[in-house]
Amino acid sequence: MKHIFLLLSLCILFSSCVTSRLIKPIKNSEVFKQGFTGIVIYDPNKDKVLYAQNEDKYFIPASNTKMFTFYTAYKILGDTVNSLNYRETKDSLVFWGTGNPAFLHPDFNDVSALELLRSTNKKLYWADNSEEVTAYGSGWSWNWYKYYYGPQRTALPMYGNIVRFTKGAGDRDLSYSPHFFAKDIRLNKDMSTLKYTIDRDSDANLFQYNIVLDTVEIETDRPFATSSELTLEMLMDTLGKEVHKIEYKLVAGLPHTKLKGVETDSLFKQMMTISDNFLAEQLLVLASDKLFDSLNIGKVIEYAEKNYLSDLPDKPVWVDGSGLSSHNKFTPRSIIALLKKIREEIPEEKIYAFFPAGGKSGTIKSWYASGNAKPYIYAKTGTLDGTHCLSGYLLTKSNKMLYFSFMHNNYIIGTNALKQEMQKLLFPFYERY
């Protein structure tokens, strides 16, 4: 009995020593001292925090916000999204938006709404509920209008609210979709660039480009500015038939059908893996349509905070779906609590499919490689100016799973320096814990 007790004591002591050696470099990190850093590393098997620093302080989470969006949308939406709302009478079909981002989106094969609207012989009426959704979130930067990560939010998105530009290495010129914008895309050889540039006017959908390196390969998106007038024009151009616009108040509250569309998993995977801001925003719009039959992102966030997140250690300050807003504020220990909910309520294979995998996929494809076929980090990144976060799951060689959250704000060093430091500090947990 004494031998067993001694052996047990030695095991506990050894485990404690190993943990101490693993967390010491984190405590002493000179890289992390160059900004404001919050850290939690948690062992769910032991229900024990292995290390915490500023865990109760609020940080700008950037795209770590998407984990809250994912969890909320997963709880609300079910297996498929509501692609379109519509109401039929004897000679007319009235339809309006649910926020469905997959309608004509180049990355999704969702033809549900398109087939319905094209196949009907009835007169088409679009009930314009655009005013239910603001184009930009609170705290978004004004100059993101022309970058791939800043498409506008809308009640009835079309083509992902972007123009996609492509060019192969052997192609002489750009291709683009949708071709609706052909008249608005112009070559401007006076634009300065090393390889290529594509720009958009701040007030209109006028695109200019220049390509000086013929061998360059291009696939990039540029948001277009949405409006009710543009949506109506694009609908008629795409459908090849007349569409009449009516006021949404004429059908609001009347019985209608919700058309089923794309599988939610396909949206979750792209939103989480490549950190797709547009999908994140529209998922909350879809959730509002499902819950309230109206489109109100703020109302969905309030619902989630009350019904799903009321037991978090610290109340979130949550204003958008993507994390583009610097008004969002979360604490590292609340991130850990969310990771725990996700692990307990969502099948593990979906977590591995949706979260970026170190050395394998998404935003951490070039980082946190294990050296083996199986990744050891499944985590969501989050980056804004002066902000870089990484939160998720760490799988050790001994088949244990740890939860972790690194939140860095107000740093003045390069993001790569933070990534290199986190990579250096996380890998020993994989090898030795």
pLDDT in tens, 138-195: 999 999 999 999 999 999 999 999 999 999 998 988 999 999 999 999 999 999 999 9
Q: What are the DSSP calls for 263-280, one per residue?
A: EHHHHHHHHHHTT-HHHH
Of 298, 297, 300, residue with least CA distance to 308: 300
How far is Cα of residue 330 from the mean position of the Cα atoms in its chain?
16
Q: Given this model, what pLDDT does residue 167 score?
A: 97
Q: Given this model, what pLDDT does residue 8 score?
A: 33
18-21 contacts, C-beta under 8 A, 24 or more apart: 18/432, 18/433, 19/50, 19/433, 21/432
The share of the chain scoring above pLDDT 70, in percent, equals 96
As given in the structure block, the two tokens for residue 292 are: 């309230």
Question: What are the residue boundaries of the structural domains of the chain, listed by start?
Answer: 26-73+283-432, 74-282
HSE (side-chain half, CA atoms, 13 Å) at 61: 29
Q: Is pLDDT above 60 for 6?
A: no
Query: How confident is the model over 197-237, as pLDDT tens digits?
Result: 999 999 899 999 999 998 999 999 999 999 999 999 999 99
The average confidence (pLDDT) of the chain is: 95
Hey, what CATH topology would domain 26-73+283-432 get?
A: Beta-lactamase (3.40.710)
Q: Given this model, what pLDDT does residue 3 score?
A: 44
**Over residues 111-121, mean pLDDT:** 96
- Which position has the token pair 């291009």? 218
Q: Given this model, what pLDDT does residue 58 score?
A: 98
pTM metric for this prediction:
0.94
Q: Is pLDDT above 80 for 267?
A: yes
As given in the structure block, the two tokens for residue 90 are: 């004897």
Q: Is pLDDT above 80 for 13?
A: no
Query: How confident is the model over 329-347, as pLDDT tens digits?
Result: 999 999 999 999 999 999 9
**Over residues 411-430, mean pLDDT:** 97
Query: How confident is the model over 398-414, as pLDDT tens digits?
Result: 999 999 999 999 999 99
How far is Cα of residue 8 from the mean position of the Cα atoms in its chain?
46
- Which position has the token pair 């990190």? 29
Query: How confident is the model over 30-68, as pLDDT tens digits?
Result: 999 999 999 999 999 999 999 999 999 999 999 999 999
Residue 16's pLDDT band (cuts 50, 70, 90)? low
Q: Given this model, what pLDDT does residue 172 score?
A: 86
Q: What pairing do the DSSP bridges indicate for beta strands 123-128 and 243-247? A: parallel
Strands (E), 110-247: 123-128, 162-167, 175-177, 185-187, 196-200, 207-211, 218-223, 243-247
**Over residues 304-316, mean pLDDT:** 98
Residue 352's pLDDT band (cuts 50, 70, 90)? very high
Q: Given this model, what pLDDT does residue 4 score?
A: 39
Q: Which residues contact 402 (CB under 8 A, 6 or more apart)?
A: 41, 42, 43, 44, 50, 393, 394, 396, 429, 433
Phi-psi region of 22 (alpha: psi -120 to 50; beta: other; left: phi over 0): alpha
